[in-house]
């Protein structure tokens, strides 16, 4: 895999399993079940083999805990899980990382090297304040924004091209008529043959959205009609905004640059609410930004912000156009009314 940043490959061993066992999901297990799981995994790790096999057992640990609330039959059997379930489990394992730099975790789904070819998944973890670009095995290029995770198979097999995203990414998908490319998020599935589009699906955002730059995509959400999921086709310069709580999907024309400029180091806004702008800046700069009065978040801002500049320069521009002032307090920025 190629990238603009160096990727850090880490051998996650017993310490990471202990972290997983301390996650909220693991609290569903009884102390005896946790001990049994630990002994099973710890006793089965080959001590003289390479890092990939040990990471395979980390995958087992993640899958067990991810599935614990749904039934114990998956306790030591990951073969029955679908590729999507395996990718989601890999993303949950990555939640145990307190990453300050971009990391790539390789997870092998097989328990031993003699079991034959099974998918090897990579999870790219991009912390707040960082961005990266990578090229997949099929030459598809992906730009990942701050606070994002992408899970993908090391090799696309059986005509399937599927990845799982949490956060925001810009995709330039290599065209293949016979092998559609699928982007899965917690609320949406995007099917493409070859095109460019932006997906934003942060877990702490109320809405997810897809913006189509060129080509065509088919969007499937959790909405249903007579028990069938609804599929929607987008054309260039359209945005689809999905609210999973309301199961509501809105499609409209948009200015694409407002949603994709982040990958070239800028943000463009048009009558955007200050609360939403500050959330994006917090992710981009890894800086806590607060409003002294939450009501100030309804103020709007129009114009470009050059993210190549430091956070102080960006805040100066926002304050100039909104008649606000900011102060640095204990490592965070607080915006206030200019009294």
Which pLDDT value is given to residue 10? 37
Which pLDDT value is given to residue 287? 93
Here the tokens at position 273 are 């609410």
CATH of 265-337, one of 3.40.50.150, 3.10.180.10, 3.55.50.30, 3.30.360.10: 3.55.50.30
Which pLDDT value is given to residue 154? 86
Which pLDDT value is given to residue 48? 35
Name 55's Cβ contacts closer than 8 Å, sequence gap at least 6.
Answer: 11, 12, 105, 106, 107, 108
Q: Are residues 284 and 265 in contact, defined by beta-carbon separation less than 8 angstroms?
A: no
Per-residue pLDDT of the chain (339 residues; tens, 9 = 90+): 444 433 333 334 445 555 555 555 455 555 555 555 555 444 444 443 323 323 443 444 444 433 333 322 222 234 436 777 777 777 776 666 656 677 777 766 554 334 446 678 889 999 999 999 999 999 999 999 999 999 998 888 777 899 999 999 999 999 888 899 999 999 999 999 889 999 999 999 999 999 999 999 999 987 665 556 788 999 999 999 999 999 899 999 999 999 999 999 999 999 999 999 999 999 999 999 999 999 999 999 999 999 999 999 999 999 998 889 999 988 899 999 987
Distance CA 23, CA 21 (A): 6
Which pLDDT value is given to residue 117? 60
Which pLDDT value is given to residue 261? 95
Distance CA 333, CA 315 (A): 9
The residues with which 188 forms a beta bridge, in sequence order, are 221
Cα 242 to Cα 165, 177, 187, 222: the distances in Å are 16, 28, 8, 9
Q: Are residues 225 and 253 in contact, defined by beta-carbon separation less than 8 angstroms?
A: no
Give me Rg for the CA atoms of the chain. 22
DSSP string, 44-111: HS-TTS-HHHHHHHHHHHHHHHHHGGG-GGGTT--TTS-HHHHHHHHHHHHTT---SS-EEEEEE--S
Cα 307 to Cα 133, 151, 270: the distances in Å are 17, 27, 17
Distance CA 38, CA 26 (A): 12
Q: Is 327 exposed, middle or buried (0-12, 13-18, 19+ CB in 10 A)?
A: exposed
Instruction: State the pTM of this model.
Output: 0.73
Q: Hey, where are the domains in the chain?
A: 2-184, 265-337
- Asked whether the CA dihedral 80, 83, 85, 91 is positive or negative, the reply is positive
Q: What is the residue whose two structure tokens read 């002032």?
A: 325
Which pLDDT value is given to residue 54? 34
Q: Are residues 274 and 296 in contact, defined by beta-carbon separation less than 8 angstroms?
A: yes
Which pLDDT value is given to residue 105? 74
Determine the distance from the C-alpha atom of residue 215 to the mean position of all C-alpha atoms in its chain, rounded to a whole number.
23
């Amino acid at each position: 895999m190629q990238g603009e940043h160096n990727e850090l490959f880490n051998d996650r061993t017993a310490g990471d399993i202990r972290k997983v066992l301390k996650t909220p999901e693991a609290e569903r297990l009884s102390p005896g079940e946790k001990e049994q799981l630990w002994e099973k995994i710890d006793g089965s790790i080959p001590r003289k083999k390479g890092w990939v096999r040990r990471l395979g057992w980390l995958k087992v640990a993640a899958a067990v805990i991810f599935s614990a609330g749904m039934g114990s039959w998956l306790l030591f059997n990951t073969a029955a899980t679908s590729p999507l379930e395996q990718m989601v489990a890999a993303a949950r394992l990555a939640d145990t990382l307190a990453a300050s730099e971009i990391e790539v975790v390789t997870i092998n789904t097989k328990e031993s090297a003699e079991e034959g070819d099974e998918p090897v998944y990579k999870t790219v973890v991009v912390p707040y304040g960082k961005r990266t670009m990578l090229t997949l095995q099929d030459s598809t290029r992906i730009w990942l924004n701050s606070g994002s995770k992408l899970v993908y198979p090391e090799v696309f097999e059986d005509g399937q091209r599927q990845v799982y995203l949490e956060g925001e990414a810009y995709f330039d998908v290599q065209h293949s008529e016979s092998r559609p490319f699928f982007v899965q998020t917690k609320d949406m599935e995007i099917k493409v043959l070859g095109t460019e589009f932006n997906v934003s699906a942060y877990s702490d955002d109320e809405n997810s959205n897809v913006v189509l730059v060129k080509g065509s995509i088919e969007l499937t959400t959790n909405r249903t009609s007579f028990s069938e999921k609804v599929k929607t086709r987008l054309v260039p310069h359209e945005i689809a905004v999905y609210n999973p709580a309301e199961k509501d999907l809105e499609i409209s024309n948009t200015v694409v640059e407002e949603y994709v400029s982040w990958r070239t180091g800028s943000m463009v806004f048009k009558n955007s609410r200050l609360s939403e702008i500050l959330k994006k800046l917090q992710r981009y700069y890894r800086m806590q930004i607060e409003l002294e009065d939450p009501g100030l978040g309804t103020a709007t801002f129009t114009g470009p912000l050059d993210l190549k500049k430091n956070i102080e320069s960006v805040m100066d521009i926002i304050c100039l156009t909104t008649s606000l002032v900011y102060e640095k307090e204990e490592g965070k920025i607080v915006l206030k009314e200019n009294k």
